[in-house]
Amino acid sequence: MEFCLAASAATMWKHACSSSPRRAKCSSVNRWSVPANPLDLQRQLPITNYQMPRLSTKLLKWYRLHGRTLPWRGHPDPYAVWVSEIMLQQTRVEAVIPYFEEWMDRFPSVQALAEASEREVLNLWEGLGYYSRARNLRKAAKMVVDELDGRLPRSMDALRKLPGIGRYTAGAIASMAFGLDEPTLDGNLRRVFARLFNVEVPADSTEGEKLLWSIAAENLPKGKAGDFNQALMDLGAAICLPKNPRCPLCPLREDCQARKLGLQEARPVLQPKAEVPHVVHAAAVIVGRIGNPPKGTVLLSKRPSNGLLGGMWEFPNGRVDGDPARGLPKALKTGYRLTVRAGEALGVVNHAYTHFRVTVHVFSADLTDYADDKNLRNRRNLRMNENLKWVKLSELEDYPMGKIDRQIARKFLTRQNT
- In order, the DSSP letters of 100-132 are HHHHHHH--SHHHHHHS-HHHHHHHHTTS--TH
CA distances from 218 to 190, 197, 222 (A): 14, 13, 10
Instruction: Estimate to the nearest angstrom the gap between the alpha carbon of 411 and the chain centroid.
Output: 28
CA distances from 95 to 18, 90, 127, 222, 280 (A): 49, 11, 9, 32, 29
**Are the C-beta atoms of 186 and 225 separated by less than 8 Å?**
no
E strand or H helix that includes residue 391: strand 388-392
**Are the C-beta atoms of 308 and 405 separated by less than 8 Å?**
no
Q: Among 85, 200, 207, 314, which one carries the catalytic annotation?
A: 85
**Are the C-beta atoms of 37 and 47 separated by less than 8 Å?**
no
Measured between alpha carbons, how far is 265 from 194 in angstroms, rounded to an integer?
A: 11
Q: Please tell me what DSSP assigns to residue 273.
A: P
Q: Phi/psi of residue 366, each to 5°?
A: -120, 140
Measured between alpha carbons, how far is 44 from 41 in angstroms, rounded to an integer?
A: 5
173: nearest Cα among 162, 163, 184: 184
85 is known as an active-site residue: yes
Active site residues per annotation? 85
